[in-house]
Amino acid sequence: MPCVGTITLKNHQDNNIQERLLSFKAEQEEEGGNLKGRICRESKKIWRIATPGVISRVSSFGTIVVTQSFVGHISAVDLAGYALVQTLSVRFVNGILIGMSSATETLCGQAYGAKQYHMMGIYLQRSWIIDLITLLILLPVFLFGTQIFNLLGQDEAIAKSAGYISLWFIPFVISLIFSLTVQMYLQAQQKNLIIAWLSALQFAIHLLCSWLFVFVLDLGLPGAMAALCISSWFLVVGEFVYIFGGWCPDTWKGFSIAAAKDLWPVVKLSVSSGAMICLELWYYAILVLLAGYTTDAQVSISAFSICLNINAWIVMIILGIMGAACVRVANELGSGNAEAVRFSIKVIMATSLTMGILFWILCLAFGKSIGYLFTSEAEVAETISGLSVLLAFTVLLGSIFPVLSGVAVGSGLQSKVAVINLICFYGIGLPVGIVLGYWFNLGVQGIWVGLTGGVLTQTCSLSTLIWRTNWDEEVSKTSARLKKWYLESTSDNDKHIAC
């Protein structure tokens, strides 16, 4: 016989679901079936989440790109070394950390939709434990950078520079553990405006420190990397002040020993999330590695990496919309509203595609001159110009698949997306890039064609997956997961749900 507390909890959650459903239906009736009104209302919800997310992601990633720009004006060898570390080592580790952290995004978003507010702080602490252990295992990637790049057959001078830069990236990747998870935690409860302000300040501080250390104090490469470390930890400290200072009273109840319990289910969800993200990020990293085996490795690596960073910076804007997709889908699944999930997905996809077309036009218009923003080397800039058309189409596709991935994260479909990424990127895109780049002697252009082919097939596959998903069934799965992982709150107001 179930205990009274369990029955009370179930009734409490069912009542929340009914309230949200009735509210959604009332809004529809009030608008008299007006599609334009529904779209405007949903768009406001999306941009309320997406706008701070866009600002924070563009600013945070901008520090990486700005550092690359400063390094590019210091030394051509250091630029190639930085490109290797940033697109291989950092992308490798960052992919794992983002993936492992996206479980926080799923769980916090669904818990917020179900009004299990105190569980969000516990999920956040669990993610810190899991991510810290993961990073400790991955630290040798940075500690033995020179040896690793020598084993991969890279030029000796570039490998030596990359190994030195790798050590500077260690404080940066440690900061990612906290900045990533806290952003997901705050975004799930629609409090990510503070992250936008902090990220904007981070970017301003980074620009100032980079200029001061590199050009005024003439510290060279160490100055550029020190500026990156300082600005990244400024963001983390600001996040801690916000959370621990009492601005999240409902979701942060302090550190809890409960965070160390029931880690295995979260680990399994984190691993599937990690696999999904890593297979995508590593795909780009491997292509940069392949560029290092072309005739002029230094030029190829630099140009390919800069193009990827241009693409990534634009994708950061789309990732803000991706974050909104994750939050909206997770919140509505948590509240039990499958119809709202379907409608939200349609509005989000239309919004993202419109943005993608705009950036596609800009890349075509300014593709021949954009390379000089990142390097003084004419040969590198010309190679970037030759990739501009392919870059434009990659940007267009990049406006679609991240948002579809956000929908998958919000609904907990990461394992299926991981399989799609494995097949499309490594079964199709990578072999095509190798054949065109080396067999047909197309160099970096051939490699990029393979990249675009992999992204195209992945986008089509994700579209099919989301289209065929039974959202009523996903609502049931979400409800079962939240009830299974629910823990009693220490708040006096929640004692009525305890056994």
Contact of 193 with 187, CB cutoff 8 Å: no
* More reliable by pLDDT, 448 or 459: 459
In this predicted structure, the answer to whether residue 416 has a pLDDT above a threshold of 60 is yes
* pLDDT, position 289: 66
pLDDT in tens, 41-79: 888 888 888 888 788 877 877 888 889 888 888 888 888
- CA-based nearest residue to 310, from 399, 406, 388: 388
List the helix and strand counts (H, then E) for the chain.
20, 0
How would you class 376 by CB atoms within 10 Å of its CB: exposed for 0-12, middle for 13-18, buried for 19 or more? Answer: exposed
Task: Please determine, for residue 194, whether its predicted confidence score (pLDDT) is greater than 70.
Answer: yes
d(CA 473, CA 294): 49
Q: In this prediction, what percent of the chain has a pLDDT beyond 90? A: 15
| Pick from 3-12, 57-66, 157-166, 353-362: least confident | 3-12
DSSP per residue, 138-165: HTHHHHTHHHHHHHTT--HHHHHHHHHH
Segment 262-305, tens digit of pLDDT: 777 777 767 766 676 677 666 766 766 666 666 666 677 677 77
- Indicate whether 498 pLDDT > 50: no
Determine if residue 227 is left, alpha or beta; phi over 0 gives left, psi from -120 to 50 gives alpha, anything else beta: alpha
Q: Please tell me the least confidently modeled range out of 103-107, 197-201, 339-343.
A: 103-107
Q: Give the position of tokens 């991706």.
A: 322
What mean pLDDT is reported for the chain? Answer: 80
Q: 465 phi and psi, to 5 degrees? A: -60, -50
Q: How many CB atoms are located within 10 Å of the residue 67 CB?
A: 24
Under 8 Å between Cβ of 148 and 160: no
Return the structure tokens found at 131: 């991510």
Q: Give the separation between CA 221 and CA 171, rounded to whole angstroms.
A: 16
> Can you tell me the distance from the alpha carbon of 463 to that of 468, in angstroms, rounded to the nearest whole number?
9
Q: Which among 113, 259, 240 is positioned nearest to 188, based on CA atoms?
A: 113
The pLDDT of residue 139 is 93
Q: Given pLDDT bands bounded at 50, 70 and 90, which one contains residue 233?
A: very high
Nearest-angstrom CA–CA distance, 469 and 59:
34
Global confidence as pTM: 0.70
Please, are residues 443 and 390 in contact by the beta-carbon 8 Å criterion? no
State pLDDT tens for residues 87-99: 778 877 887 887 7
CB 176 within 8 A of CB 90: no
- The whole-number average pLDDT for the span 108-125 is 85
